């Protein structure tokens, strides 16, 4: 297979899995490692992928990946994270779930929980939890983002200010080595900041691809949350910071 045919398929694999590896692609196409490295260099030079050690990832920057594309990325990891997160949520609790594909996965994992009050600014989360008759659902209101079903703006923040939640489950677009949670939309950042201030406990759900991405807007520090749930270990320096901050790190089971 020529490079002309390999490159689109490499991009399809990257969009599906969030990343590609040199070894995996070489086996997939039955070509040499050097051939794949040249392919990835071409895609990186065109701005379609970002090179990382051993492979490449989808590019990050000032704009997020499309929501429908994000839903298919790392879906297995998100489901494992969601199950681990649901294990941390007791029955009879008030919970806020914010915008994101990882938090939507958590909503699916809460369908058997009993006597929950869930407040959300995510229309998709509300629609998922309709299937749980033991869950009371409150939607915050606000400006609807058609792209992802998220609600943001002053009305959203005002609604959050009326509550004191037992638990907030949040996502982010990126995590840097300093432990800063990052996102792309300033309105969404403002909602998450208000939510952290109005919650007794905060859990961040984030797959390991978030450690390889960047985003321009700062939500806050991991030191402000009680725990992070991911599908793999944190980078060593970030794990050490979490120990110093007393932030619980949960790695979701492989099963």
**20 in a structural domain:** yes
Q: Tell whether 45 and 89 lie within a shared domain.
A: no
**138 in a structural domain:** yes
* Average pLDDT, 10 consecutive residues per value, the chain (255 residues): 88 80 94 94 87 79 51 75 96 96 95 97 96 97 90 95 97 91 92 96 93 88 97 93 96 76
**176 in a structural domain:** yes
Per-residue pLDDT at 201: 98
Q: Tell whether 179 and 225 lie within a shared domain.
A: yes
Q: Tell whether 168 and 201 lie within a shared domain.
A: yes
CATH number of the domain encompassing residue 22: 1.10.10.10
| Pick from 185, 240, 174: nearest CA to 208 | 174
**10 in a structural domain:** yes
**18 in a structural domain:** yes
Query: In Å, how far from its chain's centre is CA 19?
Result: 15
Q: Tell whether 12 and 125 lie within a shared domain.
A: no
Q: Tell whether 42 and 127 lie within a shared domain.
A: no
Q: Tell whether 41 and 74 lie within a shared domain.
A: no
**152 in a structural domain:** yes
Q: Tell whether 230 and 159 lie within a shared domain.
A: yes
- Domain of residue 38 covers 3-57
Per-residue pLDDT at 66: 52
Q: Tell whether 166 and 218 lie within a shared domain.
A: yes
Beta strand 165-170 pairing with 199-205 = parallel
Residues 6+ apart with CB under 8 A from 56: 14, 19, 20, 40, 43, 44, 49, 50
Q: For the chain, what is the domain count?
A: 2
CA 186 to each of CA 12, 191, 227: distance values in angstroms, whole numbers, following the listed order = 30, 9, 23
Whole-structure pTM value: 0.75
Residues 6+ apart with CB under 8 A from 59: 47, 48, 49, 50
**242 in a structural domain:** yes
Q: Tell whether 10 and 46 lie within a shared domain.
A: yes
Give me the phi and psi of 117, to 5 degrees please: -110, 115
| Pick from 145, 124, 109: nearest CA to 71 | 124
Q: Tell whether 10 and 98 lie within a shared domain.
A: no
Q: Tell whether 103 and 168 lie within a shared domain.
A: yes
């Amino acid at each position: 297979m020529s490079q002309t045919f390999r490159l689109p398929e490499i991009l399809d694999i990257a969009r599906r899995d969030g990343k590609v590896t040199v070894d995996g692609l070489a086996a997939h196409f039955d070509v040499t490692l050097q051939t794949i490295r040249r392919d990835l260099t071409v895609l990186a030079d065109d701005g379609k992928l970002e090179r990382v050690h051993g492979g490449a990832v989808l590019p990050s920057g000032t704009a997020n990946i499309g929501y429908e594309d994000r839903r298919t990325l790392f879906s297995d990891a998100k489901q494992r994270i969601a199950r681990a997160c649901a294990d941390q949520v007791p029955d009879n609790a008030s919970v806020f779930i914010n915008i994101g594909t990882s938090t939507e996965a958590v909503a699916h994992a809460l369908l058997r929980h009993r006597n929950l009050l869930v407040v959300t600014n995510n229309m998709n989360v509300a629609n998922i939890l309709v299937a749980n008759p033991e869950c009371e659902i409150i939607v915050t209101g606000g400006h609807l983002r058609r792209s992802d079903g998220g609600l943001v703006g002053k009305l959203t923040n005002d609604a959050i200010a009326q509550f004191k939640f037992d638990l907030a489950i949040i996502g982010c677009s990126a995590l840097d080595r300093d432990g800063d949670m990052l996102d792309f939309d300033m309105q969404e950042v403002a909602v998450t900041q208000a939510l952290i201030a109005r919650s007794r406990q905060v859990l961040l759900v984030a797959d390991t691809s978030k450690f390889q991405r960047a985003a321009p807007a700062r939500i806050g520090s991991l030191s402000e949350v009680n725990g992070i749930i991911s599908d793999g270990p944190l980078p060593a320096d970030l794990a050490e910071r979490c120990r110093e901050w007393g932030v619980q790190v949960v790695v979701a089971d492989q099963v």
